[in-house]
Amino acid sequence: MEQTTTDHDTGGIGRRQLLSAVGSSAVAAALAGCSTLLSDGETADQSEQSGGEISDEPIQAGLLTFTRGAPGVLGIQAQRGAELAVQRINEAGGIGGQREIELDVVNEGSNPLDSYNQFIEEGKEVTFGPISSGTHSQIAPEVEKNEVINVSTDGTVTTLYEETVPDPTYSFRFQNYDIMEVVTMAREAVERIGADNISTVAGVNPGYSFGEDEMRVFTQAIQRLTDAEIVYEGFPELGASDMANHITSINNEEPDVTFSSLWGGDVTTFVRQANANDMFENTTVFGTTLYSAAGDVPGDALAGTDIYSGSRNYYWGLPAPGNWQPGRELFDAATQQEGVTVPTAHYMSGYGAVTAWATAVEKAIDLLGTYPTQEQIAQVLEGHGFFTPAGYHNIAEDHQGASNSFAGQMVYDDDLGAARLEDVNTYAATETAPPPGVTGSDWLDSWSA
């Protein structure tokens, strides 16, 4: 199959750089979805390179994610993404051409730290997840103590690498984090409505650290971009069945912008009840993770709404399928899996976390000629660039992953049987993330008003 890749789609880097970033292995190519690109003789056979230096014992890996309940709407996406990445690695011969991965998945549930510790007691060589910011804040210090690499799928609270684990060695995060997706939506609000037209802002966000963090960052960002006043903040608990009070308050204030980081099943409850209360006649909603419910929100709930949503790190239509076929291939493969109507950013959370780790290990094997230690993998992961079907990703020296983010109008597609984004804008990581070593708050303060 003939494919072409433009510099625009690959974040502005050329073909040789792309090959270097992907890594010269079948595993890296399979994960990036660009096997044709790499089959022109420029890469050596991995099994010849690693030879007998690497054992053929399967790698035991663990994934902590939400597999049920309202959070399962996105947790299962992360699980399926991780499973597909593992399947592709194993079909390509395994890590180093010899070591297949066995992935053990547990529900994040009410005792996530116990589940994580169980993984360590079982001798897992790598762990992925969690979804929740609260869980991630509990686990990250344990990861550092245990010295076993964790690449989180989500757990995106801004303060994780600023305060909780300020100098991490073994803890990494694949996902674009809170400040990136919030700044994306603040820029999107200005792009769509215009700074001069935003004077009042309300927020409805989940009532725990993630939602509070997102509202705090959005407030700071939007007030640097506009002269907006915050007129209402509501924080419903996760899985709330009744959001009518928050919706009535928004109708009372009629804010120009309503910001929301509700996710999973809460999105559907909120959108349905907001629509029933005619809230969309009074405000325009901008949400970081509303699209996480793409396959769950019914068409009648979205009819007549005015919602712009982000898709943190992956949208199956971008980079354009004509120029970057892997995105479309992943979409098709994902929709064959149980429980995935449409793959969302959280699908890429799982896929990308596994890919980040696997491509780093492959790179280390290339460098060392043998299977690397945890410390060596950690060293390679710092500053590691790699491709997935979503495009190019980088994990900076502060252990934070970064990639393009996407935002567009959320509409219901009858043919797809799910929500999709329309009229999508792309935001580069440099527009949405502070440079390594600068805290999010300081970076936002440095913006000229």
Partner 1 sequence: MAVTPTAALVQTLNGIQFGFILFMIASGLTVILGILDVLNLAHGELFSLGAYTAIGVFGFIIGIIGPPGGGVVGTAVFILAVLAAVLVTAAILLPVGTLFEAVFLRQIYDRDQVYQLVLTFALLLILLDVKKFIWGDSSIRTDAVYSAINAIPTSELVGLNYPTYNVFVILVGSAVVVGLFWFFERTKTGRIIRATAIDREMATAIGVSTDRVFTLVFALGAFLAGFAGAMAVPPTAATLEMGTNPLVLSFVVIVIGGLGSLRGAFVGALLVGVIRSWMITLYPPGEIAAPFAIMALILLVKPEGLFGTWGETA
Which residues of the shown chain bind partner 1 in the complex (CB under 8 A)?
Answer: 67-70, 72-73, 76, 231-235, 237, 239, 241-242, 244-246, 248-249, 251-253, 265, 268-269, 272-273, 275-278, 296, 298, 300-301, 339
CB of 268 to partner 1, least distance (A): 7
- Alpha-carbon gap, residue 174 to 74, rounded angstroms: 16
CB of 296 to partner 1, least distance (A): 8
- Alpha-carbon gap, residue 69 to 344, rounded angstroms: 18
Number of neighbouring beta carbons within 10 Å of residue 164:
17
Which residue number, 28 or 231, has a Cβ lying nearer to partner 1? 231
Neighbouring-strand partners of residue 391: 388
CB of 245 to partner 1, least distance (A): 4
Sign, Cα dihedral of 297, 419, 263, 388: positive
The contacts of residue 277 (CB under 8 Å, 6+ apart) are: 244, 247, 248, 251
CB of 128 to partner 1, least distance (A): 19
CB of 229 to partner 1, least distance (A): 11
Calculated CA dihedral for residues 413, 415, 416, 420, nearest 10 degrees: -20
Which residue number, 140 or 290, has a Cβ lying nearer to partner 1? 290
Which residue number, 35 or 251, has a Cβ lying nearer to partner 1? 251
Buried-exposed string 56-79: b where 16+ CB fall within 10 A, e elsewhere: eeebbbbbbbbbeebbbbbbbbbb
- Alpha-carbon gap, residue 414 to 430, rounded angstroms: 35
Which residue number, 272 or 328, has a Cβ lying nearer to partner 1? 272
CA distances (Å), origin 417, targets 270, 339, 384, 421: 20, 13, 37, 13
CB of 277 to partner 1, least distance (A): 6
Which helix (H) or strand (E) covers residue 181, if one does? helix 178-193
Which residue number, 44 or 276, has a Cβ lying nearer to partner 1? 276
CB of 32 to partner 1, least distance (A): 31
Residue 220 identity (one-letter amino acid): Q
Residue 127 CA from chain centroid, whole number: 16
Which residue number, 266 or 398, has a Cβ lying nearer to partner 1? 266
Which residue number, 224 or 272, has a Cβ lying nearer to partner 1? 272
CB of 337 to partner 1, least distance (A): 14
CA angle 210, 152, 404 (to 5 degrees): 80
Which residue number, 29 or 74, has a Cβ lying nearer to partner 1? 74
